[in-house]
Amino acid sequence: MMVDIVITDRDGSERKIAADTGLSLMEVIRDNGFEQFLAMCGGSCSCGTCHVYLYAPEGARLAPVSADEDDLLSSSEHRAPLSRLSCQIPITQSLDGTMVIIAPEG
């Protein structure tokens, strides 16, 4: 199944993409050619380079931030209340209409 995700890159360009359920948000962003998006560790929650601001629809089911994710986000000077590591967000039907902003580097 597919869900629509709207992604805004660091330059402010916005693109709506169709995402396959079962993938992680990190995989979807990376595989859709967002060049500014590093995702260096490939989704193992060990680098923090897939930091995004996530505006999920009301009722979306998100796993809570894990201790490892919290530690990595805490090291970012750009952490905000809506910060998440995209490698920790599985694409599900409840995320249809999600808006994502790729966080500043660092």
Q: pLDDT in tens for each of the 106 residues of the chain?
A: 899 999 999 999 999 999 999 999 999 999 999 988 888 888 889 999 999 999 999 888 898 999 999 999 999 999 999 999 999 999 999 999 999 999 998 7
- Residues in CB range of 35: below 8 A, 6 or more apart: none
**pLDDT value for 35:** 84
**pLDDT value for 42:** 85
**pLDDT value for 1:** 87
